[in-house]
Amino acid sequence: MTKRNVWMLCAWLGLSLGCEQVVEEAPLPAGDPASHGQGEALDGVAAPYQWECYPERYGFTPSPAGLRFPAEHELPGSLLLSWEGQGCDRPEQLALIFAALGRIPVHVVAAESLHAGIRQCLSQAGASPAQVWAVDLIPFKVDTAWIRDFGPDVVVGPDGKQRYVDNVLRPMQAFQCFSFVLYEHADRIPGDLGWYRSIPVDRPAVVLSGSNLLTDGAGRCFRARRDTNASNCFTQWCYSEEETNEVIGRAHGCDVVTLESLAGGVIDHIDMWMAVLSARTVLVGRYDVRDDAVNAAILDRNARRLADLGYDVVRIPMPTPYCQDVGDSCLGEPGRVRECDGTNTRVWATYLNSIRLGDVMAVPVYRWAPASQAHRLQGQEQEALATYQWALDRDFGPGAVKVVPIPSDTVIPCQGSLHRLAKTLLP
Residue 257, SS3 per DSSP: strand
**Residue 354 predicted with pLDDT over 90:** yes
Residues above pLDDT 90, as percent of the chain: 83
More confident call, 186 vs 382: 382
Residue 36 has pLDDT above 60, yes or no: no
- Give residue 4's pLDDT: 31
CA–CA separation, 145 and 110 (whole Å): 10
Q: Is the pLDDT of residue 21 over 60?
A: no
Residue 44, pLDDT score: 53
What integer is the mean pLDDT of 123-129? 98
Do residues 254 and 214 make contact, with C-beta atoms less than 8 angstroms apart? no
Q: What is the pLDDT of residue 184?
A: 67
Q: Are 325 and 338 in contact (CB under 8 A)?
A: yes
pLDDT band at residue 46 using 50, 70 and 90 as cut-offs: confident
Rounded CA-CA distance 97/136 in Å is 11
Burial class of residue 161 in the structure, from the number of CB atoms within 10 Å of its CB (0-12 exposed, 13-18 middle, 19+ buried): exposed
Whether 145 and 208 have beta carbons less than 8 Å apart is answered as no
pLDDT tens digits along 192-230 = 999 999 999 999 999 999 999 999 999 999 999 999 999
Percent of the chain with pLDDT over 70: 89
Please tell me the distance from the alpha carbon of residue 364 to that of residue 64, in angstroms, as a whole number: 37
Q: What single DSSP character describes residue 323? A: E
* pTM attached to this predicted model: 0.90
Q: Which residues of 378-388 are buried (b: 16+ CB within 10 A; e: fewer)?
A: eebbeebbebb
Scanning 125-224, the segments in alpha helix (DSSP H) are: 129-134, 147-150, 179-183, 189-197
Query: At 225, which amino acid appears?
Result: R
Sign of CA dihedral 345, 187, 361, 90: negative
Q: Is the pLDDT of residue 402 over 50?
A: yes
Using CA atoms, how far apart are residues 327 and 329, in angstroms rounded to an integer?
5
pLDDT at 287 over 90: yes
- Round to whole Å and give the CA distance between 249 and 212: 13
Confidence of residue 174 (pLDDT cuts 50, 70, 90): confident
Confidence of residue 45 (pLDDT cuts 50, 70, 90): low
The pLDDT value given to residue 1: 36
Q: What is the dihedral of CA 23, 27, 31, 36, to 10 degrees?
A: -130
Coil, strand, or helix at residue 393? helix
- Which residues does 195 contact at the CB level (< 8 Å), separation at least 6? none
- 407's CB contacts (< 8 A; 6+ apart) are 91, 92, 95, 364, 365, 366, 367
Question: Which residues, in sequence order, are bridge partners of residue 215?
Answer: 221
Helix (H, G, I), strand (E, B) or coil at 364: strand
- If you average pLDDT over every residue of the chain, what do you get? 90
Which SS3 state, helix, strand or coil, does residue 425 take? strand
Distance CA 188, CA 288 (A): 41
Average pLDDT over residues 10-28: 36
What structural domains and CATH numbers belong to the chain? Answer: 260-427 (3.75.10.10)
Strand 28-29 and strand 78-82: the pairing is unpaired
pLDDT in tens, 288-343: 999 999 999 999 999 999 999 999 999 999 999 999 999 999 999 999 999 999 99
Question: Does residue 23 register a pLDDT over 90?
Answer: no
- Rounded to an integer, what distance in angstroms lies between the CA atom of residue 155 and that of residue 252? 6
Alpha-helical segments (H) within 210-274 = 226-231, 241-252
- 236 and 206 Cβ atoms separated by less than 8 Å: no
Question: CB under 8 Å to 148, separation ≥6 — which residues?
Answer: 209, 210, 211, 271, 416, 419, 420, 421, 422, 423
Give the pLDDT score at 99. Answer: 98
Residue 154: pLDDT band (50, 70, 90) is very high
Q: How confident is the model at residue 22, as a pLDDT?
A: 33
Q: Are 281 and 311 in contact (CB under 8 A)?
A: yes
Residues forming a β-bridge with 108: 81, 137
DSSP 219-232: SEEEEESHHHHHHT
- Cα distance between residue 276 and residue 201, in whole Å: 25
Please state the rounded mean pLDDT for residues 50-79.
93
pLDDT exceeds 80 at position 24: no
